[in-house]
Amino acid sequence: MGTNTEAVAASSTTLTAAVGNDAEKLQWIVSNQVEGVQMREMFWDLSKDVDVDVLACSEAVKLLRTMTEEEKIQCCKASLFLLSNKNDPRYIHYERILSSIFMAACNEGVLPLSDCCELLILCTNFTLTTPMDSRKFEYMQKNLHLIDYKGLRNILKLLVVERMQEVPSTITHHHRHMLLPVENMLLTLIDRQLNLLPCIFTITELHRVSSNSRAFLLPRVAKKFNDMFISFRPLTEMVTIIGRSWLYPIAAHISFPVSTPSWKLEVTTTRLHQRAHLPYKSELFAPQSFLLYTLLRQPRGKDTISYVMRQNTNLTPQRLQCDELLHMIILEAMSEMEKTDTRLDDPANQYQWMNITQTVTFSLLHGNASFSRLLKILYESLSETVYRKGRDELMWVILQYVAVYIDRVSNEEMVRVAEIYNLLYSDEQTWSGADTDPLLFVRFLVPAAIWIHFYKKLGNSQTDVLPKPSESLWRQIQFLQERTADSDPNIQNVADHNAVLAAVANAYSNDMPNFQKLVLTAIDVFLDGSPEEINTVWHLPYGIISYSKKTPLPLSLIDSLTFHARNHLFQLCLLKLTAMLSIQQTQKLPSPATIDTLVRLAVTTEFEYGVKQVLALLSSTLVSVNKSSNLGPAQQDRSRDLLFVLCDILSYRFISYPFPVGSKVNLMLWCYTALGNSQVQMNIALCSALEQVMLRYWMWNSPQEMFYLSNAFL
């Protein structure tokens, strides 16, 4: 190994030395020709028609013939060192001799034509401080058709993107005349009728330069470029962004190629990564803020954000920051609230705000927005506006983040929330209504819930950080605090008076002792029955018994809970199902109310915090069924019973839920694998249930998803 390394190093050193010696010889030939030209012209026989550069070119070509292809290019590029000083009086002669040598070598077949053209461009002074040798560009223009498209692309890139940037920003008529050969050559190179270079390569290279590129100083070239932009592939604009909220988000549309990274946006700039196949409009080269805005505004659009962002695998994964977009969406909604006379709890208003709440919460929880920055720009904007009708919904959005990440909320952010509250709630707040209307009641007490979370974190230092609350806010805080002192009958009456329960749940979701005592206990009684009703059972076929409660939690109550409180209830219901797999299990199955409540909580939250956990339980259940031969008969039956329950949920409860494609593929593969299990095959009803899940999830797919599903089963 050491011998090979030494041999390679020695070979490399020899090559460098050889090229260095040959480059010095070539430079000597050029220098000798330039410095001795005056003496030779004095004694030259003028009766003979002989070019004084012919001998130098012949000698240089003879030298180049002795080299390999790699050595030739290195030697020629090294000779360009003679042109490093543009103020040298001999510069013009050096350029002329080098150009003659390169063209002579190309004519003799010693240099490839594409390399010759690149060398001719490299030995040109584009600062226009010396006369330009027009011969070289006429030579290139005449031979462009002999070069392949790769060589032409390199020539275009070298000339337009790199070398022509040296041209002065202001040129005179004399300079314009000097650049005429360059202009003629460029027009031939990019002529669409000649089709020497595919148009897509031309446009790709041209977009590497800015709009103030020096190439646009040439009027005919600028017009040719403009015509090319206008005429290039107009049919590529077949799919446009739409804002109709009930259609699929653009990134989930069948015509959007998820697997093609060229359509994706750069995370840091939100620009399209590769634009060669797009219609060449100026807006497509700007940050695609409106595209992201459209996605965020659409239902389920936030779920497709990951599809449109392109991650650089060589760097630490970056996250999109959309603080300004969220700020704009919130202000637009508050502005619309000022224009309408409909109530806050009107379905049209609530649909709008529920989507905004989920989008903002999703962005904050996934690091796509900064809570402190969002508060800052909201405060600055609200200070200059009169938007007040949507203030309860804005505080509801803030509560979602505070409830989950109260430990991360800094003192400065708490003060900023207090400033926003004082700005929006400058008037006296009084409640007029009944606690049977949970939505309005909960929204009224949202600021108090936020302050209780703050007090829980700050403890005794609350007065040092937060400003003193207003009298109306303090009364609301006291109202919620009093609910923890005694057992309020309105909290226990979940069926009819659940507004107080929702308000308390939102305020104490981070105080688990109080949350357990006030909320979870009441919900548990509602789902399974009180101690007096606990012995009342519901007899099902095959000797199965369950708790008798059939009415799930009302949707109005679920919608009035924060994401954090809702997750606590979801875990309570999920635990009742998971207990069926434990060794110490009860004989009773969870009540139908528990199952339906679990489904309602799962489908009204984000996939990874709801439905994904149900799918994880399905996976665990299938594992338990596979191992059931080693278990007792009772546990075998309970595993199969739970599998029946989960199949029923998947087939008839999650009907319209937008499963991610990957999770849907895993679900179908799990069911397909389970059908091959001997324990399942002996139970015809269970086989039928699993087949029903597979068939339904196979049919409920867009054509785009079918591509992935078909590949998964190949």
**382-397 mean pLDDT:** 88
Bridging pattern class, strands 537-539 and 545-547 = antiparallel
pLDDT at residue 309 greater than cutoff 80: no
pLDDT at residue 439 greater than cutoff 50: yes
Confidence of residue 42 (pLDDT cuts 50, 70, 90): low
Q: Which residues in 587-618 are b (16+ Cβ under 10 Å) and which e?
A: ebbbbbbbbbbbbbbbbbbbbebbbebbbebb
Which residue from 89, 151, 95, 85 is spatially nearest to 122, judged by alpha carbons?
95
pLDDT digits (tens, 9 = 90+) for 442-452: 888 999 999 99
Q: Kindly calculate the radius of gyration of the chain based on its CA atoms and give it in whole angstroms.
A: 38
Give SS3 for 539.
Answer: strand
pLDDT at residue 415 greater than cutoff 50: yes
Output DSSP code: residue 649.
I
pLDDT digits (tens, 9 = 90+) for 211-241: 667 888 888 888 888 777 766 654 344 344 4
Task: Tell me how many degrees the CA angle 226-231-234 measures, rounded to the nearest 5.
Answer: 130
**Given its phi and psi angles, is residue 550 left (phi above 0), alpha (psi -120 to 50 degrees) or beta?**
alpha
Least confident of 220-224, 563-567, 612-616: 220-224
pLDDT digits (tens, 9 = 90+) for 528-564: 877 666 667 767 666 677 777 888 888 888 888 999 9
Confidence of residue 52 (pLDDT cuts 50, 70, 90): low
Tokens representing 70 are: 């790699």
Task: Tell me how many degrees the CA angle 283-285-289 measures, rounded to the nearest 5.
Answer: 65
**639-654 mean pLDDT:** 87
**658-669 mean pLDDT:** 83
pLDDT at residue 126 greater than cutoff 60: yes
Q: Answer for the pair 489, 382: CB distance below 8 angstroms, yes or no.
A: no
φ and ψ of 147, to 5 deg: -100, 140
How many Cβ atoms are within 10 Å of 138's Cβ, its own excluded?
13
Task: Tell me how many degrees the CA angle 549-554-557 measures, rounded to the nearest 5.
Answer: 130
Q: Write the DSSP assignment of 576-630 as a string of letters.
A: HHHGGGSSS--SSBPPHHHHHHHHHHHHTS-GGGTHHHHHHHHHHHHHHHHTGGG
Tokens representing 164 are: 């022509």
**What mean pLDDT value characterizes the chain?**
79
Tokens 């599998």 sit at which residue?
643
Contacts of 599 (CB under 8 A, 6+ apart): 552, 649, 653, 654
Tokens representing 363 are: 């962005």
Output DSSP code: residue 270.
-
Taking the C-alpha atoms of 168, 174, 178 and 181 in order, what is their torsion angle to the nearest 10 degrees? 110
Contacts of 198 (CB under 8 A, 6+ apart): 149
Q: What percent of the chain has pLDDT over 70?
A: 79
pLDDT at 321: 81
Give SS3 for 22.
Answer: helix
Distance CA 68, CA 73 (A): 9
Helices (H) and strands (E) in the chain, counts: 36, 4
Does the CA dihedral 277-278-280-284 come out positive or negative?
negative
Contacts of 335 (CB under 8 A, 6+ apart): 385, 387
Distance CA 171, CA 677 (A): 82
pLDDT at 260: 52
Q: What percent of the chain has pLDDT over 90?
A: 14
E strand or H helix that includes residue 547? strand 545-547
Q: How many CA atoms lie within 13 A of 426 on its CB side?
A: 7
φ and ψ of 364, to 5 deg: -70, -45
Instruction: Output the pTM of the full model.
Output: 0.66
Confidence of residue 68 (pLDDT cuts 50, 70, 90): confident
pLDDT at 635: 53
Contacts of 208 (CB under 8 A, 6+ apart): 157, 161
φ and ψ of 266, to 5 deg: -70, 140
Output DSSP code: residue 272.
B
Domain boundaries, the chain: 19-238, 244-310, 322-483, 485-606, 625-713
Least confident of 30-39, 149-158, 255-264: 255-264
Task: Tell me how many degrees the CA angle 428-372-558 measures, rounded to the nearest 5.
Answer: 60
pLDDT at 36: 63
Distance CA 362, CA 471 (A): 33
pLDDT digits (tens, 9 = 90+) for 83-114: 888 888 888 888 888 888 889 989 999 899 99
E strand or H helix that includes residue 199? helix 199-206
Distance CA 384, CA 508 (A): 34
**Chain centroid to CA 11: how far?**
48
E strand or H helix that includes residue 398? helix 391-404
Q: How many CA atoms lie within 13 A of 714 on its CB side?
A: 7
Which residue from 158, 234, 224 is spatially nearest to 192, judged by alpha carbons?
224
Distance CA 40, CA 50 (A): 12
E strand or H helix that includes residue 537? strand 537-539
Sequence letter at residue 278:
L
Mean pLDDT is highest, among 19-23, 26-30, 156-160, for: 156-160
Confidence of residue 521 (pLDDT cuts 50, 70, 90): confident
- Spell out where 425-485 has E strands: none
pLDDT at residue 634 greater than cutoff 80: no
Distance CA 153, CA 502 (A): 67
- Alpha helices (H) along 277-367: 289-297, 305-308, 323-339, 347-365
Confidence of residue 13 (pLDDT cuts 50, 70, 90): very low
Q: Answer for the pair 601, 560: CB distance below 8 angstroms, yes or no.
A: no
Distance CA 602, CA 563 (A): 11
Give SS3 for 345.
Answer: coil
